[in-house]
Amino acid sequence: MPVALVTGASKGIGAACALALAEAGHDVGIGFANDAEGAESTAQAVRNLGCRAVVHQADVSDEDEAAGLVSAVEDALGPLDALILNAGITRDGPALRMGAADWGAVIDTNLSGAFYTVRPALRGMLRRRTGSIVAISSVVGLSGNIGQANYSAAKAGMIGMVKSLAREAAPRGVRVNAVAPGYITTDMTAGIPEQFREQILEHTPLGRFGTPDDVAAAVRFLCSEDAGFMTGAVLSVDGGMAIGA
């Protein structure tokens, strides 16, 4: 069976991606930073679908821990066929009030963490001349957002990284793509005040928030042979928010 690793898979988009890939026949490595209970729940759901699952804790902002995550999953399940870069945090606030710690934490986890994880995984994929990498970016990486200079910068950086890696990896048959979700109903967006929720919906042509399953469906597609001629692409899963961006 093919093997996938999903970072930040204890809940939300990451958990949905893990289940979508299991439904497509992948054994799945579940990466998490803090929520061990959530990660185990995701793993059990994968097992209930008849696939193997392994759980491994890692702070991907630490290069050694990120590499250890890849090694642990490959040791337990076998070489990676797919890698989903989903680990991320927010530290929102106006730029003039944003301290270096809040800036650095988001860049370190969301952008550097993705790079630290992709590098050891990519090395094996290039050697085997096969693999699919999908980075979870964001609509704010395309358009920016008030109070999210750090998050927007990290997500925009992921898109640049994806396009560069896609060029580097293509000659050896490895595909690298991104998904840019809009506002998805997760714990991360649950605290948005009602007035801002209404504003978001006004700027979402489809008139609703997305779900983790909406994003997971795009990820599953990008990891499938149906997307075999796609690399360096950014799929917007945002209800139309990025139209014209």
158-184 tens-digit pLDDT: 999 999 999 999 999 999 999 999 989
In a domain, 34, yes or no: yes
Is pLDDT above 80 for 242? no
Residue 241 forms part of a structural domain: no
The answer to whether position 242 is within a domain reads no
User: Out of 53-67, 190-204, 229-243, which region has the weakest mean confidence (pLDDT)?
Assistant: 190-204
pLDDT > 70: what percent of the chain?
97
pLDDT of residue 80 exceeding 90, the answer is yes
What CATH number does residue 122 fall under?
A: 3.40.50.720
Mean pLDDT value across residues 93-119: 97
**What pTM value is reported for the model?**
0.95
For the chain, give the mean pLDDT: 95
For 21, the domain range is 3-236
State how far the Cα of 143 lies from the Cα of 106, in Å rounded to an integer: 18
Positive/negative CA dihedral, 165, 171, 134, 183: positive
Q: How far apart are CA 120 and CA 122, in angstroms?
A: 5
Q: Is residue 243 part of a domain?
A: no
Residue 241, phi-psi category: left (phi > 0), alpha (psi -120 to 50), beta (remainder): alpha
Total of domains in the chain: 1
What is the SS3 assignment for the chain? Answer: CCEEEECCCCCHHHHHHHHHHHHCCCEEEEEECCCHHHHHHHHHHHHHCCCCEEEEECCCCCHHHHHHHHHHHHHHHCCCCEEEECCCCCCCCCHHHCCHHHHHHHHHHHHHHHHHHHHHHHHHHHHHCCEEEEEECCCHHHHCCCCCHHHHHHHHHHHHHHHHHHHHHHHHCEEEEEEEECCECCCCCCCCCHHHHHHHHHCCCCCCCECHHHHHHHHHHHCCHHHCCCCCCEEEECCCCCCCC
What is the reported pLDDT for 190?
A: 67
Is 244 a member of any domain?
Answer: no
Residues carrying an active site annotation: 151
User: What does the pLDDT look like over 207-227, one tens digit per residue?
Assistant: 899 999 999 999 999 999 999
Q: Do you know the residue count of the chain?
A: 245
